[in-house]
């Protein structure tokens, strides 16, 4: 039985975390350096941005996890360490500092950065803050939250969660922290996400689990049609729960994947709801598709449409914009079979049936679309496959935030 629990990345056995302000950010109130460590060397797996322009930390992390193992994660915010001539050197020096103050080998450290692209990242503040960061490591909810806070950029709320489940009679826990509310577009969604678990699982099965999961979680998330340069999802598995090693696609593996998906989809909702300038979360659920890929294409097209996003911001039930997005999604569908409806806590509003608009009360429609969470229900009536995508509305504040992001 899956249960959400407290503790974030510190919920699983053997993990500690911390976050501090070291001076990368001018704002001394905001933390800007985070560290997650494990008592033991862990099976490790990662998924990265598909943008050809990649942050230096990704290049370093790829080398460090090439053998399928890691023991720590170090992250800075306020500077992406991307498009910098000495970026790889700085990323390696960050890992070396982790070794200096924790004893964890430099090559067993995953490194990530987030913030402004094209600004040189100085090692001095990181070097000055690493001792405090390492000394303050602890295995509790407070310190997981501290790490979650330190990786935030334009996020307005911390994002973390943890779940408990059972494998072969052993309690297993999995925790997560993440950030990202801008430059979010599928493949991969723009964000940093760090997952810890005490499950015993091979690096190969761990990689398969997250590579498969992102197809229906992070790759179905969109805020603004921009894919970041630094997106990284990493997962560390300590094995300290004592379950039988997962080394094949068996029942334990499927249970593990269910827990993983529960966490990643929970984070997708949090990331979308906190999109830059956002006032509403959009969840588009598509069913009746001929293939899984058709369902994904259709759902992503809807949440990715600027016109749909603007429509939700204005609480204007213009279902034609949903129909338009479905039409160019690239999915194999029959426009004359499509049903569209809107839902929220205020009620359920059918808008299109078999490709044609339905009459409705404008006052009721306004109430439905004025809630904080808006569902867009699409039935393609062509098959048995389904998919869900998450996004947010497009507001004036999005332009304000990104108009002076660097300065």
Q: How far apart are CA 39 and CA 133, in angstroms?
A: 16
> What letter would DSSP give residue 1?
-
One of 49, 190, 264, 388 is an active-site residue; which one? Answer: 190
CA 172 to chain CA centroid, Å, is: 22
190 belongs to the catalytic site: yes
Place of tokens 């062509």: 382
> What letter would DSSP give residue 201?
B
Q: Find all residues with CB under 8 Å of 314, minimum gap 6, and list them.
A: none
Listing DSSP states for 220-274 in one string gives: GB-SSS---S--EEEEEE--TT-PPPB-SSSHHHHHHHHHHHHHHHHHHHHHHHT
Q: How far apart are CA 72 and CA 150, in angstroms?
A: 16
Beta carbons of 218 and 233 less than 8 angstroms apart: yes
Q: How far apart are CA 194 and CA 177, in angstroms?
A: 6
Task: Give the containing element (helix H, strand E) for 396.
Answer: helix 396-403
Active site residues: 190
């Amino acid at each position: 039985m899956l249960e959400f629990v407290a503790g974030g990345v510190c919920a699983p056995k053997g993990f500690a975390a911390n976050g501090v302000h070291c001076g990368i950010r001018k704002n001394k109130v905001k933390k800007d350096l985070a560290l997650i460590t494990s008592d033991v060397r862990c099976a490790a797996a990662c998924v990265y941005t598909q943008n050809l322009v990649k942050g230096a930390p990704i290049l370093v992390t790829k080398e460090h996890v090439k053998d399928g193992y890691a023991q720590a994660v170090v992250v800075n915010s306020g500077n992406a360490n991307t498009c910098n001539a000495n970026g790889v050197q700085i990323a390696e020096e960050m890992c070396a500092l982790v070794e200096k103050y924790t004893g964890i080998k430099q090559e067993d450290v995953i490194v990530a950065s987030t913030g402004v692209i094209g600004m040189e990242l100085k090692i001095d503040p990181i070097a000055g803050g690493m001792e405090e960061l390492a000394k303050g490591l602890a295995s509790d909810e407070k310190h997981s939250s501290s790490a979650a806070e330190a990786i935030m950029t334009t996020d307005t709320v911390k994002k973390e969660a943890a779940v408990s489940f059972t494998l072969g009679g052993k309690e297993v826990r999995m925790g997560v922290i993440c950030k990202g509310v801008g430059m979010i577009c599928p493949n991969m969604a723009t964000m940093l996400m760090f997952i810890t678990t005490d499950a015993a699982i091979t690096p190969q099965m761990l990689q398969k689990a997250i590579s498969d999961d992102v197809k229906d979680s992070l790759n179905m998330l969109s805020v603004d049609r921009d894919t970041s340069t630094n997106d990284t999802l990493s997962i560390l598995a300590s094995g300290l729960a004592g379950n039988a090693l997962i080394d094949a696609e068996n029942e334990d593996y499927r249970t593990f994947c269910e827990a993983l998906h529960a966490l990643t989809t929970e984070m997708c909702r949090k990331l979308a709801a906190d999109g830059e300038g956002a006032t509403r979360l959009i969840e588009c659920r598509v069913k009746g598709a001929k293939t899984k890929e058709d369902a994904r294409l259709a759902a992503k097209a809807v949440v990715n449409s600027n016109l749909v996003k603007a429509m939700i911001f204005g609480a204007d039930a213009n279902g034609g914009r949903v129909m338009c997005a479905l039409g160019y999604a690239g999915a194999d569908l029959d426009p004359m079979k499509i049903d569209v409806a809107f839902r929220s806590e205020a009620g359920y509003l059918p808008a299109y049936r078999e490709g044609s608009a339905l009459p409705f009360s404008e006052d009721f429609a306004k109430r439905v679309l004025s809630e904080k969470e808006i569902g867009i229900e699409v039935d393609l009536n062509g098959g048995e496959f389904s998919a869900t995508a998450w996004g947010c509305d497009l507001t004036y504040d999005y332009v304000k935030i990104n108009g002076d992001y660097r300065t």
